[in-house]
Structure 1
Amino acid sequence: MTFDANRFVSPEASETPRAKRSLLFAALSLTALLAACQTASVPNVISLDKAQGSSENLASLTATLNADPRNPEVYNVRGTAYGRAGQNRDAIKDFSTALQLDPNFYQAYANRALVYRQLGDSKDALADYNAAIRLNANYDKAYIGRGNLYRTAGRNREALADFQKAIDLNTTDPRAYHNRGLLYQRDGQHKQAIEDFSTAISLQADAPEPYSGRGVSYLALGDDENAFNDFNTALKLDDKSAEYWTNQALVYERRNQKSRAFKSYARAAQLDPSYKPAKDGMDRTRGGA
């Protein structure tokens, strides 16, 4: 469900100046792309398993609406199912119908906002998150969604305030901690970032992003062992991520295990041929012992 950071690892004294610059560039590029990926993969406000975006489930929800066409709850649920299936326009239509039937349906505003975000419509997304918060000032998921919108727009102070508000509301949504951790990481506050990533992991242990984020901060603090463990855990959870393979390769390279580093960089480049940190890493470690 990808990390912003503008200050990163202090390379080891044994590295050459060129290697220092290359590793730093790779790490910065990595964290920026991780942030973009996480933003794109933020889960829906209503939690659905994958089957709920299936054609069978959509057909069942449609049958329910045919029998009860003025039920805003069912439109909201079907809209979320459409969103899970990637049918964003249908999702917006259902959320809008739910809001016509119940203008105080703050969950539908937050759900529609998420779909607008997925379509790149930040203006309408922000308006919907604001509407959800006006209707329910204690709705943690709307603060988290709006915070993500602010974060991807570079409005980091506003994003931090929204994530903090959700946490103050005792949210159990791991995204609040994960995304606050990204902001701490961006400002070089790696110990605070590690605490937030750890909390996110405690709330959702099967999500790879917090492990990768925590590993980045461990690496920035010179804790290669814990970083390596986290990067490997992220890969176990998602071995199709070029960023995670590049993370792993960075540790191998720091250990001067260039052959292993090259293999991991090569796997990253195979998964994403346009991913520059992987290609640069391959150039640095090609032919390594």
Structure 2
Amino acid sequence: MVGQEHKESPLDRGYFRYTGWVLLGLVWAGGCRLLQPASPVERTLLTSRQLTRQAMAALAQQQWDEAVGLAGQAVETCSADVDARQVYAEALWAKGLRQEAIAQMAQLIQLAPEDAWVQARMAQMELELGRLVQARQYANQALERNPQLTEAWIVRARVARHLGDFRAALADYQRALAYAPNQREVLLEVAELYRATKQPDRALAALHRLADTYAPGEEPAQLLYLQGLTYIELGRYPEAAEQLALAIQRGGASADWLYQLAQAQAAAGQWSQADQTLRQALALDPTHRGSRELLNRLESLRAAQNPLPR
């Protein structure tokens, strides 16, 4: 992620399709169906949904054990409740019980075989487990059901990136951005991929698009830092120095960041500023090799330009 943001919970990352829960209605055929008037089956479903809502609240508070217990009870109460099983899978995943979560997702796919979102979520899980073939398979199945599903395009792009197929990765990232143009994580990954493939001009364009998703003055320091590095790659050293200085001002100094700033300053002919920046870097980390070597080179250049009188 860009910047120092809070640790995301499963709810933050949009694992669930619904922002609210419908307590009355029909669920999948053959499962717990609501009847009129009230019946034991209706009461069973209502109990399942109540437990599911409590499990979601526990997930939001990162109370993994409680979430797993409540969601598990919901599934036991009504095994055909798709929402209960979805939350159960997410609770298991959040707790670190990855294989158990995958097993629940497999059952969820059987309950809802045409649900593209479920296929995409399974693809995300498989990708996190490093099972690239399975991840791509589920992503493709999701896209067969919904070609505009952003999450599935993102998984496909990440699989291609892991496999070193950067051209395919960029194509899938662009498809994702066509449906979610302000997706920050995708814009960042696109910029990183352009930098990795020696296309700094396109990387900078992606970083500018990412910066536009923030209010002026609220851009994360890491984003500003990446912009500065990209300006260096483009040979635009004064702009690099300005951006890197802003990143340090906003995010705090480190020896590595100060070293990059000093490189930009030196390349821009700002030797005195570079000298000062390097001394700050070495004050933070006296063993920082890059800063020591650049400082020695600057001192040698100054000595060559201003030889001592004989």
Name the TM-score class by shorter chain: 0.5 to 0.7
Counterpart code for 1:84: A
8 Å CA contact 1:259, 1:287 repeated in 2: no
8 Å CA contact 2:132, 2:159 repeated in 1: yes
| RMSD (Å), alpha carbons | 3.7
Query: Normalising to structure 1: TM-score of the pair?
Result: 0.66
Q: Aligned runs of 1:153-172 on 2, under 5 Å?
A: 153-170=129-146, 172=148
1:23: which partner in 2? none
For residues 161-210 of structure 1, the C-alpha deviation after alignment (integer angstroms, 9 at most, x for no partner) is: 11111112215431111121122223332332222222222322332011
For residues 52-81 of structure 1, the C-alpha deviation after alignment (integer angstroms, 9 at most, x for no partner) is: 9xxxxxxxxxxxxxxx78512343344334
Distance 1:242 1:152 in 2: 27
Q: 2:144 aligned with 1:197, yes or no?
A: no
Aligned residue pairs total: 238
Secondary structure in 2 matching 1:73:
helix
8 Å CA contact 1:106, 1:133 repeated in 2: no
Q: Aligned runs of 1:1-289 on 2, under 5 Å?
A: 42-48=13-19, 71=46, 72-170=48-146, 172-237=148-213, 241=220, 243-262=222-241, 264-265=243-244, 267=247, 271=251, 281-282=260-261, 284-285=263-264, 287-289=266-268
Please state which structure has a larger fraction of its residues in helix: 1
Which protein is bigger by CA-based radius of gyration?
2
Unmatched segments (≥5 aa) in structure 1: 3-29, 31-35, 53-67
8 Å CA contact 2:222, 2:251 repeated in 1: no
Secondary structure in 2 matching 1:237:
coil
8 Å CA contact 2:71, 2:91 repeated in 1: no
For residues 125-183 of structure 1, the C-alpha deviation after alignment (integer angstroms, 9 at most, x for no partner) is: 22221221232333323322222222222221221111111112215431111121122
Identity rate of aligned residues, in percent? 14
Is the alpha carbon distance of 1:212 and 1:113 closer, same or farther for their aligned partners in structure 2, counting shifts above 3 Å?
Answer: same
Is the alpha carbon distance of 1:139 and 1:190 closer, same or farther for their aligned partners in structure 2, counting shifts above 3 Å?
Answer: same
8 Å CA contact 2:192, 2:203 repeated in 1: yes
8 Å CA contact 1:75, 1:97 repeated in 2: yes
Deviation at 1:98, TM superposition (A): 2.2
Counterpart code for 2:17: I
Is the alpha carbon distance of 1:282 and 1:37 closer, same or farther for their aligned partners in structure 2, counting shifts above 3 Å?
Answer: farther
Query: Normalising to structure 2: TM-score of the pair?
Result: 0.62
8 Å CA contact 2:9, 2:60 repeated in 1: no
